[in-house]
Amino acid sequence: MNNDNNYFSGLFGGVKSLCIGLKTTMREYFTKKITEQYPENRNELQMFDRFRGSLVMPHNENNEHKCVGCGLCQTACPNDTIKVESEFYEDADGKKKKRLTRYEYNLGSCMFCQLCTRACPHGAITFDQSFENAVFDRARLVRVLNQPGSHVAEKPVVKKPAPAAPAAKAGEANA
Amino acid sequence: MFNFQDITTWIHGMLTGTLGLPEWAAILTESIGVALAVITLYAVFAIFLIYMERKVCAFFQCRLGPMRVGPWGTLQVFSDVFKMLTKEIINLRQTDRFLHNMAPFLVVTASMLTFACLPWNKGAHIIDFNVGVFFFLAVSSLGVVGILLAGWSSNNKYSLIGAMRSGAQIISYELSIGMTMLTMICLTGTMSFSEICADQAVNGWNIFRGHLPAVLAFIIYLIAGNAECNRGPFDLPESESELTAGYHTEYSGMHFGYYYLAEYLNLFICAGMAATIFLGGWAPLTIAGLDGFNEVMAYIPGFVWFIGKAIFVVFLLMWLRWTFPRLRIDQILSLEWKYLVPISMFNLVLMALVVAYGLHF
C-alpha cells in the first residue's frame, strides 16, 4: 500500500513540478527580450553598469583630473599595462611636490581586472563603457589618458583642518 | 461551409469534358497534381516550422532569434535551405552504401504518407478510407525502419546507439498513441478521418464532447507525440552532448536535410492529428445557443481552422520542448511503461463507460 502511495504521490508531484516549469517558461516568453541589435541601435545602446570597456581618467570641466602621480596603479598592474611618468616641482610655498606628466595606458595588454582602479587612493581612474576598440595598428592601442594641459584638481579637503583629510581619503579608497 | 469537393469535381469535369481526356488519363493527371501539391506543401510547412521553432525557442530563452536575413529574419530559413541544397553528399568508406542512401528516403516517405492522411478541409482528404487511423499508425511506424537502417549502415557506434534508442523509444510510445487514438475512436465510432471531422462539425469538438477522458487522452497524446517526433525532453536519440547527432551523424547535404525536413514535418503531422481527433480538424468552433457567433465562425474556411489548430498544438509541443530537460533512456521507458500505458488503459475503460452510459455531451 505504501508503494502505491509513492507511485501516486510521485506522479502528482511530478505533474505539479512540470507545470511550474511550464509556467516559468511562459512568463519568460512574454518578458522583454534582452537581445541588443547592435549596429542598428548603436546610438541608443546602453551597456550594463558593470561592463568594463577601457580605462579612462575622468577630467572635470576645468581640465582637472584627480591623479597625483603616485604610481600605485602601475605597481598593481600584473601586465605592465600602465606607465605613470611624473616630475617634481616646487610650489608657491617652496615645497617639493610630485605631479603627473604623462599617464600611458596600453589597451592591448590590459585584461580589465580592475586592480588599478581599486589600488587608486583618489579614484582618479575608472573603466568606461566604450567597446569599439578595434584599430589597424597595435601602436594605436597605447593611449595617453591625461589630457594635454591638464593638472591635478585642488582638493577642498586640503583647506580644512588636518584630521578631516585622512578620513575623507579612506572613504574614497573604500568606494 | 466551403467544400473543397466542388473544386475537385470541377477540375475532374474540366479534364474529362473540356479537354476530352479518358477517365484513366484524367485520374493520372489529378494524382500527379495532388502529389506535387503534397510535396510543395511539405516543403513550405517545413520552412515555416523551422522558422517558427527558431523564433519560439528564442522567445522562451529571452532572445529574439534570427533577425538579420530579411525583415524579422523571415528569409533566414530560405537561405539555410539553399545552403543545404548546394552541399555535397559525401560517400563514406566502409558503410553499407545502399542502405545508407536508402534510409533518408524511407524516413521522408513515411512522413509524406502520414502527411497525406491529414484532413485539410471539408472534401480535401488525400488519403481517406474506413480504417484511416490504422493506416496512419502503420505508415508512421515506417519511419523507425529508416532510422534504424541509418544507424546500422553508418558503421558508427554513436549512430547505432542513437538509432537503437530511437527505435526503443518510438516503438514504446507508439503504444500510447494507439491507445489514445482508440479512446477517441471509442467516442466517435469511426476510424475514417473525414468522418471523424464531419462528426465533430455536427456534435462539437471531441475534447469538449468527451470531457475528462478526452482531456486526459489529449495530454497523453501530446507527451507521446513529442516522443514519437524525437523531440522535446525525449530527444536523446540525437543528444548532441553524448552522441554528436545520433543516427544522422554520418549524413551530409540533402540526405541530412531529409531527416531535418522529416523531423519538422513529423511535428506538424503529430499536431495535425491532435487537431483532427481532439480539436475537430476543419470543424469550426461552435457554441450551442450562440447562433450568430456560430454563423460567423462557419464563414472561416476549414483549412484555416485546421492549420490554425495544428499550429496551436505545434506551439504547445514547442513549449514542452523548450521547457523540460532531456530524460535518460531508463526514465523514458519507465515514463511510458509505468505511467502512460496504465493511465491510457484506464482512460480507455473510462471512455468506454462514458460512451456506454451516454455520459458525453
Instruction: Note whether A24 contacts B61, CB cutoff 8 Å.
Output: no
Instruction: Note whether A34 contacts B63, CB cutoff 8 Å.
Output: yes
Q: For A55-60, what is the mean pLDDT?
A: 89
Instruction: Note whether B319 contacts A11, CB cutoff 8 Å.
Output: no
Reported ipTM exceeds the 0.95 cut: no
Rounded to the nearest angstrom, the minimum Cα separation between B61 and chain A is 7
Q: Rounded to 10 degrees, what is the CA torsion of A167, A168, A171, A175?
A: -170
Residues recorded for chain B: 361
Is residue A158 over pLDDT 80?
no
**CA B137, CA B193: separation in Å to the nearest integer?**
12
Chain B: which residues have CB within 8 Å of chain A? 58-64, 67, 319-320, 322-324, 338-339
Chain A: which residues have CB within 8 Å of chain B? 7, 11, 18, 21-22, 24-26, 28-29, 31, 33-35, 37
From A11, A21, A34, residue closest to B324, measured CB to CB: A21
Judged by DSSP in three states, B74 sits in coil
Instruction: Note whether A25 contacts B67, CB cutoff 8 Å.
Output: no
**CA B125, CA B120: separation in Å to the nearest integer?**
6
Is residue A168 over pLDDT 70?
no
Report the share of chain A in percent with pLDDT over 90: 10
Distant-in-sequence, close-in-space partners of B229: CB < 8 Å, separation ≥ 6? B263, B266, B267, B270, B317
Is residue A171 over pLDDT 60?
no
From A18, A22, A33, residue closest to B64, measured CB to CB: A33
Rounded to the nearest angstrom, the minimum Cα separation between A35 and chain B is 5
A13-A18-A20 Cα angle (round to 5): 95
**CA A25, CA A33: separation in Å to the nearest integer?**
13
pLDDT of residue B231: 80
In chain B, the residue whose alpha carbon lies closest to the alpha carbon of A22 is B323
Is residue A129 over pLDDT 80?
yes
Distant-in-sequence, close-in-space partners of B240: CB < 8 Å, separation ≥ 6? none
Task: Count A/B contacts: CB-CB distance under 8 Å.
Answer: 34
Q: DSSP code of B125?
A: B
In chain A, the residue whose alpha carbon lies closest to the alpha carbon of B335 is A11
Q: Give chain A's mean pLDDT.
A: 81
Going residue by residue through chain B (361 aa), what tens digit of pLDDT does each one get? 677 777 888 888 888 877 777 888 888 888 898 889 888 988 888 889 989 999 998 998 888 888 888 888 888 888 888 888 888 888 888 888 888 888 888 888 888 888 888 888 887 788 888 888 888 888 888 888 888 888 888 888 888 888 888 888 888 888 889 899 888 888 888 888 888 888 888 887 888 887 888 888 999 998 888 888 888 788 777 766 677 777 888 888 888 888 888 888 888 998 998 988 888 878 777 777 777 777 777 778 888 888 899 999 999 998 988 888 888 888 888 888 888 899 999 999 998 888 888 877 7
Instruction: Note whether A31 contacts B324, CB cutoff 8 Å.
Output: no
**CA A69, CA B358: separation in Å to the nearest integer?**
92
Chain B residues with beta carbon closer than 8 angstroms to that of A24: 323
pLDDT of residue A156: 60
**Nine-digit cell string for B202:** 455536427
A83 within 8 A of A91, measured Cβ to Cβ: no
Q: Which pLDDT band, with edges at 50, 70 and 90, does A3 fall under? A: low
Provide the residue type at A111 as one letter. M
From B58, B319, B339, residue closest to A22, measured CB to CB: B319
In chain B, the residue whose alpha carbon lies closest to the alpha carbon of A18 is B324
Q: DSSP code of B118?
A: S
pLDDT of residue A136: 92
Instruction: Note whether B62 contacts A28, CB cutoff 8 Å.
Output: yes
Q: What does pTM read for this prediction?
A: 0.79
**Nine-digit cell string for B174:** 507508439
Strands A64-65 and A151-152: parallel
In chain B, the residue whose alpha carbon lies closest to the alpha carbon of A31 is B62
From B61, B67, B320, residue closest to A37, measured CB to CB: B67
Chain B residues with beta carbon closer than 8 angstroms to that of A26: 319
B116 within 8 A of B204, measured Cβ to Cβ: no
Residue B137: Cβ within 10 Å count: 18
B323-343: b or e for each residue (b if 16 or more CB lie within 10 Å)?
Answer: bbeebeeeebbebbeebbbeb
In chain A, the residue whose alpha carbon lies closest to the alpha carbon of B72 is A37
Instruction: Note whether B60 contacts A18, CB cutoff 8 Å.
Output: no
Sorted by where each begins, the domain ranges of chain B are 84-356
Task: Please list the alpha-helical segments (H only) found in chain B.
Answer: 5-13, 23-60, 76-86, 97-115, 132-153, 157-188, 193-203, 206-209, 211-228, 240-243, 253-277, 291-299, 302-321, 329-334, 341-356
B105 within 8 A of B259, measured Cβ to Cβ: no
In chain B, the residue whose alpha carbon lies closest to the alpha carbon of A11 is B339
**Nine-digit cell string for B4:** 473543397
Q: What is the pLDDT of residues A29-38, one digit of tens each?
A: 888 888 888 8
Which of B53, B54, B56, B59 to mutate: most A Cβ within 10 Å?
Answer: B59
